[in-house]
Amino acid sequence: MKFFRVLLLLILISPPLQMFSDAQHEAGFCSMYDECGRNPTVSGSLLNSNVPCKSPGPAREVVGAHYELLKEVCPMLDQGEGQTFACCSLQQLISLQSSVSLSKAILLRCPSCAYNFAHLHCINTCSPNQSQTINVTRTIPVNISGTEKEAVVSYQAYVSTTFSDTSFNSCKNVRIPATGGYAIGTMCGRYGSTLCTPQRWLDFQGDSSNGLAPLDIDFRLIPPQHNAAVPEGMVPYAGIALSCNETTPTGGEQCSCQDCQESCPPVPPPGPLPEPFMIGNMDGVLVISIILFAILCLLFLIFLVVKCILHLCKRKKSKSGKDKNANEVHLNQTVNPKDITCTDRASLVTQKYLGSFFQSWGIVMARHPLKVIFASLLVVAAFTTGVMNMQLTTDPVQLWSAPNSRARREKDFHDENFAPFFRTNQLILTAPGRPSYIYDSLLFGTTNFSGLISKDLILQLLELQQRIQAIEFWSDELNKTATLKDVCYAPLNPDNPSLTDCAVNSLPQYFQNSVKNLNLKANMTQLGVTKEVDWRDHFIYCVNSPLSFKDITALNLSCMADYGGPVFPFLAVGGYDNEDYTAGEAFILTFSLNNYPRDDPKFKVVEQWEEMFLQIVQEYQKDPSTNFTFAYMAERSLEDEINRTTIEDFPIFMISYAVIFLYIAVALGEYSSFKRILVDSKFLVGLGGILVVTGSVLASMGFYAWVGIPSSLIIVQVVPFLVLAVGADNIFIFVLEYQRDVRQPGEKSEEQIGRVLGSVAPSMLLCSVSESVCFFLGALSNMPAVKSFALYAALAVLMDFVLQMTAFVALLSLDARRQDGNRCEIVCCLKVKTQRPAKPNKGFLLPFMEKYYAPVLLHPVSRKVVIVLFLFMFCASIYLMFNVKVGLDQELAMPTDSYMLKYFEYLNKYFEVGVPTYFVTTKGFNFSDVTGINAVCSSVGCDQFSLTQKIQYATEYPERSYLAIPASSWVDDFIDWLNPGSRCCRTYTSGSNMGQFCPASESTLMCLKKCMTLPSSGILRPSVEEFNRFLPNFLTNRPDLQCPKGGLGAYDTAVVWDNLTGEISASRFMAYHTPLKNSQEFTAALLMVRELAHNITMAMRMIPGTAEDFEVFPYSVTYVYYEQYISIVNEGVANLCLCLLPTFVVCCILLGLDLRSGFLNLFTIVMITVDTVGVMTLWSIDYNAVSLINLVTAVGISVEFVSHTTRSFALSTLPTKVERAKEATAKMGSAVFAGVAMTNLPGIIVLAFAKAQLIQIFFFRLNLVITLLGMAHGLIFLPVLLSFFGPPVNKAVLLELQKAKEMEYSDTAHYDNASFENNEIPVSPGCHSQNETVSQKPEKVIVQALDEGSKKIITATSF
């Protein structure tokens, strides 16, 4: 007993320092009590930094108001009134409540986390056994109301790891809905959420330099059974911490799945990706293609064997035994009229009618050339005047997205309700070659910095940023000098922004764009080591904790941007790995501007600002003193660059047309004699043909301009090419046929032109009608660009044919008169004496085709080789067709010298986050109802498969969903904002605003009433009245340190709310995609989010009261461009089928229901199309809308390559199929080669020199492929195919020949190798193409035909 008296005496008389060292550590005793004013060692604190007084002694009983507040703030210490003791005063509880409420604001989503957080700090501050867990390590003498006391500024807190780990785990997954990030990231300082641990989490809470903690707390985490390091008498606190999936003693429910993985229901992972189609170990399509090739070859072999057997049988039955071919037909045999089929008769009647009609038509046109040309000019001029009203569509959205398409409707809904997505103007800057360096930070240890992140470059970046921010220009629309603040996106002050309110994201924003802040330095002591801290320490802290209002360095700087929002590190730096931001290789500088509709006057203002932005950036790039290598873009850049390249490449197109014109003018000439070059040349005829094409294109454009269908750059570039190919072919057929024809005795030039026109016009009609109908059907496409192209092309082809039948016939008539008069071209007054030779000039191509090409091609061996080779190409192309890439990367839309290409390169290389996507809700859902709230939110008490929770599930599989960050949720933040545990939502209890909403910045004394009280269940849900009353306050509440949940900036534009009815007609929830780098990924991402949104929609429609048409849909600025690739394959197949159908039908009709010719014609065109797609795969030409337009064009051009030869073969009367094929190849092959292939190729080759990659790839490459494949199939495959499978000789024609022979008493006629078209002048002499040539001497044939009910003898010239 004596010992204890001495000990008590020593305690009472010892000085304060001794009292400090001899403090008791036992149950029921305190180490601190009451407050001793502000901490004098802390400067720049963001909150009240009152610290406790050192006051060892027994715990005090708490009663009355003190007890009630303790029960509210620290319910875990409540032992019942009269039985509860604590080591904190009432004032300490008030300060603790204020401090904890700040963190609770972001932790309340998870009640057990908020409970554990409060539990920890309640134990340190108020535990009745405080002395057992707290060891005071530093005090400072202070004078409080004349009394000397010791203020505690530092202490050690001993905590068991079982408690700390469980508490940490309950909080580590709690989300911040506004950002999609983790709340723990804001509470772990420099480590962020990724590197945060229980020790680092608690260290940050006990660090007074963070601006939030009032004093330093050294948390000592002690594992169980490891008490050796614990001072004698102390016991690490090992109270019960709740797991996140447990309810709290106060009635709080378990945390939601989004905040607690342990609460998640078993969600099956997504199923495996569809396996590629395989047969065995080989690609399934490849195996099928090989099998198909084998089957086709086998069928062909069987065909050859059967044919050989039949041939032998026929030879044995032959009376003469002199048959040379199984298909030989004896001309001297009599054709029985009963043997003639309906098809033969229909073919004959069709050809007679067409030939007679066009002959009469041609004669009339040729007799009145000037009148016809004048009338044609009037018609063309009348149509062309509409061009003045033509609307040229350059907006990619209007070009590639149909107005009624889903993406377009969703975009319109979004823009109408939320305004268009803001405009982005961005720079990505690098400094290659600068060496990295190591920075030894007092706080963060050794850190690697890239050479880019240096003070001098940051200052240069800030200088460039401020130069751009200072842009000024006079605006007529605003009638004042416009600046950035007039057009910028200012999320926290949208109504009246200043320059500093504009959202500019960059690294200097971590220093509030202040050079002074960048230059700040300060000495700081950490663990007994004193070192200087500077901008690097602040930068390291901010990129790991961007939501902090104050760093933990002695600089005491905020991390928030000057406009009040956070700058997330992925928006400030790029090119780093694993969140190692200090090693970033790129600065990112982004100016966000408001996006106005095109008819808004401010749209021009914002475009002017962007123009000035581009000028400054381009000048800066040229400055030799700059240390940056960078890429840049403005929102207007894409459209600007496309328009620029269109203008720059216009001369290329003009040169291309000039080359084609020069070729036509030269190739149409006869050149029989050097002296007659100026007479026999066809320069003016060629020019006339070009003018006909030009007139048809202008007439088509003018007509649709009158109708109101807008044009596009693709139409301007492609349609003239297409019509020129078709028109030149017809011109060559007509002119060459006329040149090779011999005028009959007594026949006038007009009659000769009419007769020639009667022979070739049906072929021209066949091709033109096929192409025109093809394009008109192609206009059924839903894609605006394809639809308008098809309409313009269809009418242009039709007009071209009409003008050829009128103006060009008249022009040829004038030229024939000039040539007959031996007058020179251009200088018509000059004549030459050399007369025109009587024998027509065959030229070079026709004899070559007759003597060499056709015999070699149709040799028995080469015929078989050709069939097998082309079947192989066809089957190989089927395989390749399934491997063609679908899409159009935006880089390809840029010219090769565009600055945008470098920007796209930098974007893919340095950007670490994808585009934002919104999940938009439409009208018809009750958000104010408790059931409705639970179906949307993701915090405690919400449905486990709510809207936001399903999006969260999707982000767990980013490689499948393409979603990286969960959706921000205004509903969740609104609930947290209403929670009385935070000070966000209060009402005035005094003054003129009594009862109205009181912001968190107001004094607590004026706003004592909370908006809501927390129910016993812990699940806070507003009533309908409370929802409608406080939602507007939430949406307009600016977030700050006191209330980080304010909705202004994050949600004020995310909710469309009717303040009269209280109905929410639209809202949106923003998530982020993973980085998407090509069209295929963008398209796949769209499909996945649509599937997710549909799933959400179906679930929410099940909620009572939800409208049947309610919908949730995803929206991003990119979807409207990439939606086309979802259906473009099916749509392309449908369009091509619609184009192919008329080629078959028209061919059959115009050939008199000749189904076999129509089918062979169709089969060859299909082969050309399939082979074209196959070569697209080999030549890296992606399949997209531009490709589809060219493929539709390919069908049209293929008709020119194929139909003329098919018709010539079908109407030929030569004995065998091989001979008929030779004749068709020689005549039509030469014309097709000269008129189609050689017309297209020179112009196409010129396009290779265009700057635009789009033109190089989709016009040069693709058109070259189309032309070469069309030429190969039309001049090689088709003649061979016809020689095997072509239709038999038309017996109706043979009967006509037979009747004509019986009339030899009137005139002599020879039938040697006579073709049908040579025998019947009113009948088209085959599909006479440009290359139809004279294979024999002209011989007269008499054919009897009916004309207007009377018999006439019509004389024809046969070739």
The three-state secondary structure class of 235 is coil
Q: What residue ranges in 259-385 does DSSP mark as E strands?
A: 278-279, 282-283
More confident residue, 1035 or 186: 1035
| pLDDT surpasses 90 at 923 | yes
Report the pLDDT averaged over residues 118-133: 94
Q: What is the pLDDT of residue 1326?
A: 35
Going by the DSSP 8-state scheme, the letter that residue 1043 receives in this structure is -
Cβ contacts of 336 within 8 Å, gap of 6 or more: none
Lowest mean per-residue pLDDT among 289-303, 583-597, 823-837, 1274-1288: 823-837
Burial letters 438-473, b for 16+ CB under 10 A, else e: ebebbbbeebebbebbbeebbebbbebbeebbebee
Q: Each residue of 597-626: pLDDT tens digit?
A: 888 999 999 999 999 999 999 999 999 889
Token pair of 72 as six digits: 């509210």
Q: Each residue of 1281-1317: pLDDT tens digit?
A: 999 998 888 777 777 777 777 665 444 433 343 343 4
Q: Each residue of 857-890: pLDDT tens digit?
A: 999 999 999 999 999 999 999 999 999 999 888 8
A 10 A CB-CB count for 332 gives 7
Cβ contacts of 844 within 8 Å, gap of 6 or more: none
1268, 1274, 1276, 1280: CA torsion to nearest 10: 160
| pLDDT surpasses 80 at 415 | yes
Cβ contacts of 1241 within 8 Å, gap of 6 or more: 1264, 1267
Mean pLDDT (the chain) is: 85
**Cβ atoms 592, 491 nearer than 8 A:** no
| pLDDT surpasses 50 at 18 | no
Q: What is the pLDDT of residue 67?
A: 94
| pLDDT surpasses 70 at 321 | no
| pLDDT surpasses 70 at 975 | yes
Cβ contacts of 1287 within 8 Å, gap of 6 or more: 1154, 1156, 1157, 1209, 1210
- 780, amino acid identity: L
**Cβ atoms 581, 571 nearer than 8 A:** no
Q: Which residue pairs, CB below 8 angstroms and at least 24 apart, start in 439-443?
A: 439/536, 439/582, 441/533, 441/536, 441/537, 441/540, 442/524, 442/526, 442/529, 442/531, 442/532, 442/533, 442/537, 443/190, 443/524, 443/526, 443/533, 443/537, 443/540, 443/541, 443/552, 443/553
Q: What is the pLDDT of residue 621?
A: 93
Lowest mean per-residue pLDDT among 97-101, 701-705, 1164-1168: 97-101
A 10 A CB-CB count for 1336 gives 13
Q: Which residue pairs, CB below 8 angstroms and at least 24 apart, start in 995-1004?
A: 997/1030, 997/1033, 999/1037, 999/1038, 999/1043, 1000/1040, 1000/1042, 1000/1043, 1000/1046, 1001/1040, 1001/1042, 1004/98
Q: Each residue of 40-69: pLDDT tens digit?
A: 888 767 777 889 999 999 999 999 999 999
CA separation for the pair 506, 493 (Å, rounded)? 19
pTM of the model: 0.81
| pLDDT surpasses 90 at 556 | no
Q: What is the pLDDT of residue 674?
A: 64
Q: Each residue of 525-552: pLDDT tens digit?
A: 877 788 999 999 999 989 988 888 888 8
Helix (H) / strand (E) element for 807: namely none
Residue whose C-alpha is closest to residue 1318's, from 1200, 1205, 1208: 1208
Q: What residue ranges in 161-261 does DSSP mark as E strands?
A: 175-176, 181-182, 216-222
Report the pLDDT averaged over residues 1170-1191: 91
pLDDT band at 785 (very low <50, low <70, confident <90, very high): confident
Report the pLDDT averaged over residues 1058-1081: 90
Q: Each residue of 210-262: pLDDT tens digit?
A: 778 889 999 999 998 887 778 888 999 999 999 999 999 988 888 888 888 88
Strands 437-441 and 445-449: antiparallel
Q: Each residue of 723-750: pLDDT tens digit?
A: 877 777 788 888 888 887 888 888 888 9
| pLDDT surpasses 60 at 1129 | yes
The three-state secondary structure class of 1027 is helix
Q: What is the pLDDT of residue 324?
A: 42
Helix segments in 914-1062, DSSP class H? 930-934, 947-955, 958-961, 970-978, 1024-1036
Token pair of 385 as six digits: 């005047």
Lowest mean per-residue pLDDT among 304-318, 1020-1034, 1333-1347: 1333-1347
Report the pLDDT averaged over residues 374-397: 87
Lowest mean per-residue pLDDT among 104-118, 476-490, 652-666, 1332-1346: 1332-1346
**Cβ atoms 460, 657 nearer than 8 A:** no
Highest mean pLDDT among 317-326, 412-421, 1344-1353: 412-421
Estimate to the nearest angstrom the gap between the alpha carbon of 1316 and the chain centroid: 56
More confident residue, 839 or 153: 153
Phi, psi for 1055 (deg, rounded to 5)? -130, 125
CA separation for the pair 1050, 1067 (Å, rounded)? 12
Cβ contacts of 975 within 8 Å, gap of 6 or more: 933, 937, 939, 1020, 1021, 1022
Cβ contacts of 311 within 8 Å, gap of 6 or more: 325, 326
Report the pLDDT averaged over residues 267-285: 87
| pLDDT surpasses 90 at 423 | yes
Q: What is the pLDDT of residue 335?
A: 67
pLDDT band at 10 (very low <50, low <70, confident <90, very high): very low
Report the pLDDT averaged over residues 923-947: 92
| pLDDT surpasses 70 at 72 | yes
Q: What is the pLDDT of residue 333?
A: 53
Lowest mean per-residue pLDDT among 17-31, 194-208, 1131-1145, 1201-1215: 17-31
Q: What percent of the chain has pLDDT over 70?
A: 90
Please tell me the chain's helix, strand, coil percentages from 3-state DSSP, rounded to the nearest 5.
50, 15, 35
**Cβ atoms 352, 1320 nearer than 8 A:** yes
Q: What is the pLDDT of residue 317?
A: 63
Strands 586-593 and 573-574: antiparallel
